[in-house]
């Protein structure tokens, strides 16, 4: 009778590999979020006419208009404070 010791087979990846995957995934998510924020910032700075001409979504046009109004209000408040 042949008896051999059975060794368990490791089915999970090593901890260091899982940590590396988590770091890489987090980095990629961060880069994607930064890219989207930069693109939206660039769109917000375009004039209403340009946004209409390029066929920007109405939500983006409204967000750009809101952003311009907020900047104008901040600028007006700053200048009124110095009089």
Band of residue 2 on the pLDDT scale cut at 50, 70, 90: low
For the chain, counts of helices (H) and of strands (E): 3, 0
pLDDT tens for 27-75 read 999 999 999 999 988 988 888 889 999 998 999 899 889 989 999 999 9
The per-residue pLDDT for range 4-27, each reduced to its tens digit, is: 777 877 778 889 999 999 999 999
Confidence (pTM): 0.56
Does residue 83 carry a pLDDT above 70?
Answer: no
pLDDT at 10: 73
Both structure tokens of 48: 């209403």
């Amino acid at each position: 009778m042949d008896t051999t010791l059975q060794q368990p087979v490791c089915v999970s990846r090593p901890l260091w590999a899982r940590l590396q995957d988590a770091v890489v995934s987090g980095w990629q998510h961060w880069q994607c979020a930064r890219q989207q924020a930069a693109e939206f910032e660039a769109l917000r700075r375009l004039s209403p006419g340009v946004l209409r001409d390029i066929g920007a979504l109405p939500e983006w046009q409204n967000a750009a208009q809101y952003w311009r109004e907020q900047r104008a209000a901040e600028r007006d408040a700053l200048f009124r404070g110095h009089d």
